[in-house]
Structure 1
Amino acid sequence: MSGLISTTGLWSAEKAVALTGYTPHQHVPNPIEPSFTAPKRVSKLTFGPLALAAAVARAATTRDDAPVAVLDALQRSTLPMLETMIEDGSMFGLSTDFQYLADTERTFLAARIGGGITDLYMNALGYTWRANAACLSPALDPHADFIYEGGNASGHGVVLAEAHGSFAANASAQSVHLQSKNKYLRQVKPHLAASSPYGKVIHGYSIAFGSAPSTPGAFLSLSETKIVKPKTPKSLPPSTPESEISPDGATPTSIALAAHRSNFFLMGGDEVVDWIDWVRTVDDAPPEPLPVEFLRIQYAGRRFLVHASSLWWIDPPHEWFGELFEYHHPWPRMLRWPLSRRVRSRPHLGWFAIEETAGTDFLKSLTGIIQDGGRSIPETLSLPSLVLSGFGPGEESAGRSRDDAGYRYALFRDGLALLGDPYRGRPSGITVWSPKDGVSTP
């Protein structure tokens, strides 16, 4: 079921949550990396239901050593809760159904949404690549949740992000702010300047999110490492207009593999996940080098790749599905039809997809590693960073251009997207990835 989620019951209005608490924390040495300048904090985060749903799924699937079955269980157990537990309207609030959850379920939901909010906030700050931070310490020792790279950190190291969510009856701006400070001191500060498989830790964040049941509104608090004398940033702050696709410099291969393992899992591309796992270990026999097919669709003025497993619900599959993916045959005429003509009566479905340039650049790089037998992995890869759409800082959150007005989707900096109404897309062909031969468009 990875690749497609139901968004039938999700709220419709975009929500805005203002930063209600902020604390910079001293650290010695300061700064940890002299050439790094932290991006300006985001004072207001706006997001729609698709952005939060996608971010919760992204945060839940960062354990790059977890089997696909475990990741699938995490995704399935979390996303349906968002359909009934969040109230509609521009202000964040929990629905009346929240009262029926057991305490453990309330804690689980708050933690998952806290992780999703953190992922949205870190993208809003300009960071691109994510990984789990469990690598920093033994399982029983406290550590932050996530590691991020890209943006202002590109070429300098990585940053930590601790996530916290609370839906307690006494949640307030003060209590949420206290959590962000305590979590920073306990789970971020001890690991600053430490080494990780993805680079040196040069900065840290603790992001806490909370809301009280039956009380509209939410609280968002940030604690981060204080930089006493910041230098002029080499990159522009996230609020500055960006080009549609900008190079993200030399991305550490280790964190690109971790991030795209989660991305292709969410898209349903388990074959790609298997190859990523193999190149990181090369201890076992490699997977079968069978071609992996993606449908290219034009959507909101962009082109995305959708894995074949997301298309099972298109009607009638028996008439065209097989021919569509016989990529050595001439394209059938249904590639010229809008997808809306072929869907069943289930309009509220979302596809996880990847922006074409981001997806193909990574798959080409992965082929290069496979061709070398997985024994010589380059330290860095040249991968793009995209402009956010569907969420972000303040009024710039939507990030939408004129030609995508009315489309429902969320696009993250690494290229992963959740398309809320994919039937509006227009198929434009098929892209085939051969693990041994690379990317082709027959």
Structure 2
Amino acid sequence: MSDVLTSSAVWRAEKSVGITGHTRHLHNPSPISVGFNAPGMCKTLTFGPTALAASIARTATLRDAPPEMLARWGDSALTEVEWLIEDGSTFMLTQHINSLADAERTAFAGRVGAGVTDLLMNALGYTWRDNAACLSSSLAPHADFIYGDGAVTDYGVVLAEARGSFAANVSAATISGQAKRKYSKQVNPHLAAESPHGKIIHGYSIAFGSRPGSAGAFLHAAETRISKPRGKPPPSTEPTPSLNPESTPTSLALATHRANFSLMDAPSIVTWIDWVRAGGEHPDAHSPVSFLEIPYAGRIFLASVDSLWPFHGYSDWLDDLWHDPRMWRHFPRRRPLRRSSDGFAGWFVMEEKSAGRFLNALSAIIRDGRESMPATIELPRIEPAGFVVDRGEGGAVLPDSEYAYALYRDGLALLGSPPPRRIVGHRTWSPQDGMLDN
């Protein structure tokens, strides 16, 4: 890293961060689940401000707090990363980081560390997520997140610990040491334990850091080593993986989409998810939720009307807006994120098929009763956009696009540039009847 300090500019360019260290840690037994093979670690992770901001918001909302509160938790992420991270292809903090109090700088580093971890886990093929606080109600140290899907499908789930550091003494050695220590203290003790979403069969500790005033960053990934069996392996007692690639543990899907619909500012849906997960008072069954269908980057996304219009209980304006695109320019948002140059606030939406499949599955659980909730549901996966990895086969370069957005395997997206000033329709979700065509 060179000692350079440049004038700040709002971050727009994609950045490539190389994996500066990768260690594998022994565990007995190994493998924890016979037949599981961890995905190969990437060489480089490339992402833009929208993707990092989206992952910061995604990880921050994996809580059981009120959805209205969590929706606002994600509001500042895009502003923070744009102004506190320098523009250009090399990772570097802006001079504004020096204006922050020590506690806020530490907190921002932690948020970025969590965001980078989420990007890396998605790049490795993991889709569904939850906060690892579900492992224990005690204050015992534990990792930050649980992930499922991808290579771990039908075997269990994996743990992921996130660490971020922006300090003057940051180096490859310090970041490596942090990743290894966190793995030993907060990942390793929980391996082979049972979680609400399945057995923990693998673990990661991801540490990310950069020195203020210097260009470059360090990223170390520590993970569980899987030993190769000697001689003829014993007969497997593990379940045979299913042939359905869309099979998803219901508990993990509910945790994931609670965070997603909180970010989309759809509290009514979160209320139903909470009832399905934990019981309590039965929500109002006669309160449908409306969505706008927004065309963007060759896909259709659903945007929650709750976050867009203060009179969401009155539906006639939807038809007016649909048939008169001129109204779009006058369409206010209740909760704009402030941006520096283009005036667009950023917008959490969900890919239409992903949202529809989940909400129909949620309605089926509501109709049948939470006591008969299935162990798995079938949900689609989306090819991610807005971040990419290089596994040593070539440069990790994001494809050129007029769109600035981040799209995740579960269907959640953060639109970082304005969509066309038109909508193509609207949909309504009924808790009892599922998705309705309008």
TM-score range for the pair, normalised by the shorter chain length? 0.7 to 0.9
Cα distance in 1 for partners of 2:266, 2:349 equals 10
Change (3 A) 1:374 1:81: same
Cα distance in 2 for partners of 1:10, 1:254 equals 39
Residue 71 (structure 1) shift: 2.1
Q: How does 1:341-360 map to 2 (within 5 A)?
A: 347-360=343-356
Cα distance in 2 for partners of 1:353, 1:209 equals 28
Verify the 8 A CA contact 1:93 1:215 in the aligned structure 2: yes
Question: Quick one: percent identity of the two aligned structures?
Answer: 51
Residue 348 (structure 1) shift: 2.4
Match of 1:265 in 2: 262
The amino acid across from 1:149 in the alignment is G
Match of 1:54 in 2: 54
Verify the 8 A CA contact 1:347 1:421 in the aligned structure 2: no
Change (3 A) 1:105 1:21: same
Change (3 A) 1:390 1:274: same
The answer on 1:28 being equivalent to 2:47 is no
The amino acid across from 1:296 in the alignment is E
Paired residues in the alignment total 407
Gaps of 5+ in 2: 1-8, 231-242, 334-340
CA RMSD of aligned residues (A): 2.6
Verify the 8 A CA contact 2:266 2:307 in the aligned structure 1: no
The amino acid across from 1:68 in the alignment is P
Change (3 A) 1:47 1:339: farther
**TM-score where L is the length of structure 1:** 0.86
User: Of residues 282, 286, 303 in structure 2, which corresponds to 1:285?
Assistant: 282
Match of 2:388 in 1: 392
Q: Secondary structure at the match of 1:23?
A: strand
Q: How does 1:169-188 map to 2 (within 5 A)?
A: 169-188=168-187
Match of 1:120 in 2: 119
Cα distance in 1 for partners of 2:321, 2:91 equals 46
Cα distance in 2 for partners of 1:338, 1:154 equals 46
Cα distance in 1 for partners of 2:316, 2:430 equals 19
1:203-226 Cα offsets, whole Å, 9 max, x none, are 000000000000011110000001
Match of 1:407 in 2: 403
The amino acid across from 2:423 in the alignment is P
Match of 1:96 in 2: 95
Match of 2:300 in 1: 303
Cα distance in 2 for partners of 1:380, 1:357 equals 18
Match of 1:325 in 2: 318
Residue 85 (structure 1) shift: 1.1
Q: How does 1:204-215 map to 2 (within 5 A)?
A: 204-215=203-214
1:266-286 Cα offsets, whole Å, 9 max, x none, are 011111100000111222232
Gaps of 5+ in 1: 1-8, 232-245
Match of 2:146 in 1: 147
Cα distance in 1 for partners of 2:397, 2:267 equals 31
Residue 249 (structure 1) shift: 2.9
Residue 140 (structure 1) shift: 1.6
